[in-house]
Structure 1
Amino acid sequence: MQVITLNGSNLTVRRLKDIVYKQEAIGICPDAAARAAESRAAVEKVVREERTVYGINTGFGKFSDVTIDPEDTRALQLHLIRSHACGLGEPLPAAVTRAMAVLRLNALLKGHSGVRRVVLDRLADMVNLKMDAVIPSQGSLGASGDLAPLSHLALVLVGEGLVWKDGKPVPSSQVWEEHGIQPIVLEAKEGLALINGTQAMTAIGALNYMEAEALALQAEWIAGMTVEALRGITDAFHPAIHEARGYPEQAEVAVRMLGWLNGSRLATRQGELRVQDAYSIRCIPQVHGASWQVLGYVKEKLEIEMNAATDNPLIFEGRDTIVSGGNFHGQPIAFAMDFLKIGMAELANISERRIERLVNPQLNEGLSPFLSPQPGLQSGAMILQYAAASLVSENKTLAHPASVDSIPSSANQEDHVSMGTTAARHAREIITNVRRVLAVEAFCAHHACAVRGEEEMSPALREKWAGLAKVTPPMNEDRVFSEDIAKIEEWLKQEAGITSAG
């Protein structure tokens, strides 16, 4: 197992995936630790000199004009964490909370937050010991940071929160004791430094991106299988068409589609059976390519945010300047997640249209109605199309942008918020729905290609067909198809490397 060293500026989606899903260990860059120590010295100087600085010796939010006595600075930080740990709803997946710990540590390593080395070490311990915090999924406005979810994370550091162990929530104090490690006692500013930030929405967002990227690639070979099942025309993927438009993502999809279909004896050429295919076949590069454009935008914003200082106040210029600002505001990630919702929902939209063509006897090029082995006596894939249509419709509701909403908080001191965490959560739901729709398409195309003769498929797609055959057999008779779709869904996740033993 390798150790991935964090320094506040070098974290990528790929490295985060290795930490979260491959459970690679993390380390702390000495230079970054030195920067953090310098910023900590600035906080301690403020405390010694009894200067009034927000978050060090004042209250929070609307209470920022309340000065706190020096002897109460420890209590101030603990009260902050306890009072703000008011998340609601079902817990976030352990993978998300592990990513939150990584991202919070990386932000502190930029050296603008003023925390002690022990805080950094305990966050690293949480990741390396797989102490994944139990964090409710709801309750963040996405400005002033992800206050509620990050407070539940911080509670683990002080030994008061819950962590997952063998699939069950247990007190973090118990697990720290098992490892012979003492929880921390928060000093001035440290509680605020731990919860002022966008790490919940960014963690959900980064894992969303990992799944979305994998699904976008899987959507191409699944679509390729449908092209074969429907005797689709490969001329629509001719490079010249896509170079003429100029979008590189569109051209790249077309190249990959030709790669998947190379050597197919099922796919056709222009004029052999028909002159043109329907849009859901012919426009795969244009539609899927546009979703890849969305993914490119989302990845860029996520990797900026993953390496950003997002708490408040921040410490600059050799400890001498402590400035209050608003880097905790999640608007960039809110927009990115809303954009991701739209881009991914479209992959399901066009997939469902291909499913309809596979099962509709007026459109499926001679395949049996609803792919039924005995039309009339057996319904075949009829209701699978219903299920896919239901998920596509649900996605349309979830794709409504969360970022256009805002609601004031803290007595109108915090009068504009991003709702970025809501956007990220809804994007996660859409991605799950997209995978299920693609699983339905894969199931139907798999059966249709078996009817056509899988030996006629392209070598690349025949390999995918064989992989699917190990998960679910073609339809020989009606059965409980939801079980097949669930198996394909899990197989797609495993193929993408987004399952974890931890």
Structure 2
Amino acid sequence: MIELTGDTLTLQEAKDIIYNHAAVRPSAVSMEKVKKSREAVERIVKEKRVVYGITTGFGKFSDVWIDTENVEELQLNLIHSHACGVGESFPEKVSRGMLLLRANALLKGFSGVRPVIIERLLDMVNAGIHPVVPQQGSLGASGDLAPLSHLVLGLLGEGEVFYKGNKVDAAYAFSQEGLEPVTLQAKEGLALINGTQAMTAMGVVNYLEAEQLAKQSEWIAATTIEGLRGIIDAFDEDVHVARGYQQQVDVAKRMSHYLSGSKLTTKQGELRVQDAYSLRCIPQVHGASWQALDYVKEKLLIEMNAATDNPLIFDDGEKVISGGNFHGQPIAFAMDFMKIAIAELANISERRIERLVNPQLNDLPAFLSPQPGLQSGAMIMQYAAASLVSENKTLAHPASVDSIPSSANQEDHVSMGTIAARHAYQILQNARRVLAIEWICAMQAVEHRGLDKMAEATRSFFNLGRQVVPAIDKDRVFSKDIEAAAKWMEDDLLSEAHS
């Protein structure tokens, strides 16, 4: 059971909850803060104070007074009117992450919701009831209004949810689990949707899967080094310490470890003096991607435990401030940076694929074909990889440099952070398939060279791979192999067999 405080959620805990379905509960201390914050809201309503979103309308309607008897209707109208998401739904794991992160933010005690709101959000997490949330429609400020509105529909017992592998009505899932939908009271609708939890949940999923892919990329690259009889000297620690980037040093150290004892690697001058950059510069390029991922990790850890509501309630309601913590710019930048980092792992992988299949660049059978000419072998796998990396270059265009004013120019600068996070996820799927293709080609190459000559570590990785994709002994529908390898790489997030 993982306890949420609003301040201490880690990526490992988020991973356990999102992927392993660990149970979660709120901290008793944090819930006391929530109760005090709620009491402040109720005083504001009773005293008929003018406070944005509690006794006023929203956005451009912030100057419109709402009578006390209408504050509950105001919150329900807010959710219904803002549920304008369109397109395909977020993956279920992202919806689960959104529930988790929204509850964690409310537990900070600055939002003025009743404890039952947080309890029900966590009930949904523990019962595996995940709202169906359309991906498109968020500007990333004032928070993820449209996606989070769809999330709240589930809380209200409306709309659709993922439940036990199916899409069902939220009311049905609640009845099956013995849960009661909530009725929103003053401020609660606004508190639930004014935040960055769609982009951040997508970002957390992106980071966890990108981190695993970056690890796998090194194992795959090490196998390619053996398949191409690469020069081991390039990973000498002195070279990388001389430059000074720790992530570069770490990649070189791991590559040297994976290739330790290999009889397929060479020394400089033995076969050639230098390798191509896609082999020789693995620590520099992969290391730079790790630098970007470290930046992303830092920002996500902050945002996962951030108060992103508006307004925020301080000093038992004596200070209620309308600010802009819902603005997703920090996560928008982080997701755009991640897009570039993961796209580059795929770019350099595609260049290694070319070196594996091009007979003008190696001494392997042309296109790794068992019968060059009669059978095409891996020829079109390289085409597919080239197509994917080209698509990634388009997706890597930064979303965060764009902004369109909304709410009659009241909300005149927005982050587009959710678009950045969604595109990062697409790039991640493409990159995983590119690396899957490299893995298939690298395994074929080392098999040609002689498995008995491989390093112990890479041979172990090869053996895992051959359980997923058999050797190419004749042409077949290689799409199935690519997808099988990519699926294994995605599922390996849970096993961490090669961390």
Fold conserved between structures, TM > 0.5: yes
Q: Within the alignment, does 1:492 sit opposite 2:475 as a pair?
A: no
Hey, what does 2:233 align to over in structure 1? 235
State the distance in 1 between where 2:30 and 2:11 align. Answer: 20
Distance 1:194 1:105 in 2: 9
Does the CA-based 8 Å contact 2:52-2:322 persist in structure 1? yes
1:458 and 2:439 are equivalent in the alignment: no
Residue number among 68, 71, 74 corresponding to 2:69 in the alignment = 71
Superposed, which structure 2 residues align to 1:397-412 within 5 Å? 397-412=394-409
The CA distance in 1 between the partners of 2:389 and 2:495, in whole Å, is: 23
Partner residue, 1:313: 311
Query: Which amino acid in structure 1 is aligned with residue 83 of structure 2?
Result: A
User: Which amino acid letter does the alignment assign opposite residue 239 of structure 1?
Assistant: E
* Secondary structure class of the residue paired with 1:170: strand
Quick one: structure 1 residues 339 and 128, their matched pair in 2 at CA, closer, same or farther if it must change by over 3 Å?
same
One-letter amino acid of the counterpart of residue 493, structure 1: E
1:123 maps to: 121
Q: Which structure 2 residue ranges, 5 or more long, are not aligned?
A: none
In structure 1, give the amino acid aligned to 2:140.
Answer: G
The Cα shift of 1:374 comes to 0.7
Q: Of residues 279, 282, 292 in structure 1, which corresponds to 2:280?
A: 282
Q: What is residue 140 of structure 1 aligned with on the other side?
A: 138
Q: What amino acid maps onto 1:248 in structure 2? A: Q
Q: How far apart are the structure 1 equivalents of 2:26 and 2:165?
A: 28
Aligned residue among 428, 433, 437 for 2:425: 428
Secondary structure in 2 matching 1:466 = helix
2:87 partner SS: strand
Are the aligned partners of 2:128 and 2:164 in contact in 1 as well (CA < 8 Å)?
no
Query: Relative to structure 2, which stretch is displaced further, 221-230 or 316-325?
Result: 316-325
Partner in structure 1 of residue 197 of structure 2: 199
- Name which of 472, 478, 484 aligns with 1:481: 478
Task: Spell out, residue by residue over 1:252-304, the C-alpha distance to the aligned partner (whole angstroms, 9 max, x if none).
Answer: 00000001100100011111111110000000000000000000000000010
- AA in 1 matched with 2:168: V
Distance 2:304 2:242 in 1: 36
Q: Structure 1 residue 498: deviation in Å?
A: 8.3
**CA contact 2:332–2:418 (8 Å) conserved in 1:** yes
Mapped to 2, the partners of 1:77 and 1:315 lie a distance apart of 18
Give the superposition deviation at 1:318.
3.1
Residues of 1 paired with 2:494 and 2:429: CA distance? 15
Distance in 1 between residues matched to 2:179 and 2:471, nearest whole Å: 54
Aligned to 1:391: 388
Contact 1:250 1:286 survives alignment (8 Å): yes
Pairing 1:259-298 to 2, within 5 Å after superposition: 259-298=257-296
Counterpart residue number, 1:332: 330
Report the Cα distance in structure 2 between the residues aligned to 1:372 and 1:15, rounded to whole angstroms: 46
SS at match of 1:159: coil
- In structure 1, give the amino acid aligned to 2:390: S
- SS of the residue 1:95 aligns to: helix
Q: Secondary structure at the match of 2:347?
A: helix
Determine the C-alpha separation between the residues in 1 that align with 2:159 and 2:3: 26
Secondary structure of 1:318 counterpart: helix
8 Å Cα contact 2:259/2:455 also seen in 1: yes
Q: Deviation per CA, 1:409-430, whole angstroms, max 9, x where unpaired?
A: 0111000000000000000000
Q: Distance in 1 between matches of 2:70 and 2:35?
A: 23
Q: 2: distance between equivalents of 1:164 and 1:393?
A: 34
1:45 to 43, 46, 59: 43
Q: Give 2:58's match in structure 1, choosing from 47, 57, 60.
A: 60
Q: 2-side partners of 1:436 and 1:9: how far apart?
A: 36
Q: Distance in 1 between matches of 2:147 and 2:165?
A: 19
Preserved CA contact (<8 Å) 1:211 1:498: no
C-alpha distance in structure 1 between counterparts of 2:211 and 2:488, whole Å: 16
Amino acid at match of 1:151: S
User: 1:413 is matched with which residue: 394, 410, 415?
Assistant: 410
Q: TM-score, structure 1 length as denominator? A: 0.98
> Are 1:200 and 1:421, in contact at CA under 8 Å, matched by a contact in 2?
yes
Q: Equivalents in 2 of 1:123, 1:17: separation in Å?
A: 18
SS state at 2:317 partner: coil
Whole-angstrom CA distance in 2 between matches of 1:19 and 1:346: 30
How far apart are residue 165 of structure 1 and its match? 2.4
In structure 2, distance between residues paired with 1:443 and 1:166: 34
Sequence identity of aligned pairs in percent?
Answer: 64
Q: Tell me what 2:105 maps to.
A: 107
Displaced runs of 4 or more, over 6 A = none
1:180 CA drift (Å): 2.0
Shift of 1:168: 2.8
- Structure 1 stretches lacking a partner, 5+ long: none
Q: Post-superposition shift, 1:400?
A: 0.1
Q: Residue type matched to 1:281 in 2?
A: L
